[in-house]
Amino acid sequence: MKTIKYRKPRKYPMFRPQLWTPPHNAAATARLPALTQALDDRLLDIATRFLRVKLASSLAVEDMVITDAIARLSLPFEVFTLNTGRLNAETLALLPASRLRWSIAIKEYVPHAEAVDEYVASHGENAFYDSVDLRRACCRIRKIEPLNRALADADAWLTGQRREQSATRTELTWEEQDKARGIAKFNPIFDWHETDVWAYVEQHDLPINALYREGYPSIGCEPCTKAVKAGEDIRAGRWWWESRDSKECGLHK
């Protein structure tokens, strides 16, 4: 009888898709002086027109650029963030890092505990996965209501939004009117490319979220954010279970 020798199965390396990485572009570095000057001019213009200006910082890389400009120009703008209670540890680590870098105390606004408890009791802790309506309800409690409190005494507010970020922001302008709150709203780097933002970060060595180095180009709450593959839309990891056109929390509606 012929003896059949046992062969161990071949081991194939596990396929791991290449993840997004922060972009580098020599052209962006070259145009950075002009972009920085335009940003400074915009912020100085806002400072001459309004008394109480606030930057709503998600601690994203765009907001770090604007915070750095505010600090460089010694502008009397308040910088605040919305601590939703579901942020990544890497995001929260930027609060002390920012204070150390710029000597700016970033004010935290948190959701009302009663509203959070009621949502969880009625729908479940992670009910936002079940429907767009439930996800938006969670965003209203954890982000929009705290934002309303933060802006209650503001004359104008700033965001880090850019046209290039998503399909819902392609018509973004540098100055808007926040009709719901009756105040001005500004997007100082609305016309910057992603490469421009990262060129500024590298040139000024800004503190950034460690998750950017792990393939996260857009970072929100921990359960609603994941890494994306190279070449994917930079907001593909935000609310990835929803359609492309619904990926807004309502802060900028």
Active site residue 249: yes
Higher confidence at residue 169 or residue 46? Answer: 46
Is residue 19 included in any domain, yes or no? Answer: no
Residue 53 lies in a domain: yes
How far, in Å, CA of 114 to CA of 11, rounded? 53
In a domain, 238, yes or no: yes
Query: How confident is the model over 105-136, as pLDDT tens digits?
Result: 899 999 999 999 999 999 999 999 999 999 99
pLDDT given at position 235: 87
- Please, which contacts does 116-125 make with residues 24 or more away whose CB atoms are closer than 8 Å? 116/85, 116/141, 116/142
Residue 128 lies in a domain: no
What type of residue is 103? S
pLDDT of residue 102: 96
- Single-letter code of the amino acid located at 197: V
Q: How many domains does the chain have?
A: 1
Please tell me the predicted confidence (pLDDT) of residue 14. Answer: 58
Q: Answer whether residue 114 is part of any domain.
A: no
Q: Between 206 and 6, where is the model more confident?
A: 206
| Structural domain that includes position 171 | 29-107+146-246
pLDDT at 39 over 80: yes
pLDDT surpassing 80 at residue 245: no
What does the alpha-carbon distance between residue 188 and residue 168 come to, in Å, rounded to a whole number?
Answer: 17
The model's pLDDT over 67-94, given as tens digits with 9 standing for 90+, comes to: 999 999 999 999 999 999 999 999 999 9
Share of the chain above pLDDT 70, in %: 88
pLDDT of residue 38: 97
Name the pTM for this structure.
0.89
* Residue-averaged pLDDT of the chain: 91
**CA-CA distance, 142 to 160, in Å (whole number)?**
19
For residue 240, being part of any structural domain is answered with: yes
pLDDT at 5 over 70: no
229 touches 19 (CB < 8 A): yes
pLDDT beyond 90 at 247 = no
Can you tell me the distance from the alpha carbon of 101 to that of 68, in angstroms, rounded to the nearest whole number?
A: 9
Q: Is residue 115 in some structural domain?
A: no
φ, ψ at 52 (rounded to 5°): -120, 95
CATH of the domain at 66: 3.40.50.620
Domain membership of residue 234 (yes or no) is yes
- Annotated catalytic residue: which of 139, 221, 224, 249? 249
**pLDDT exceeds 60 at position 6:** no
pLDDT over 60 at 2, yes or no:
no
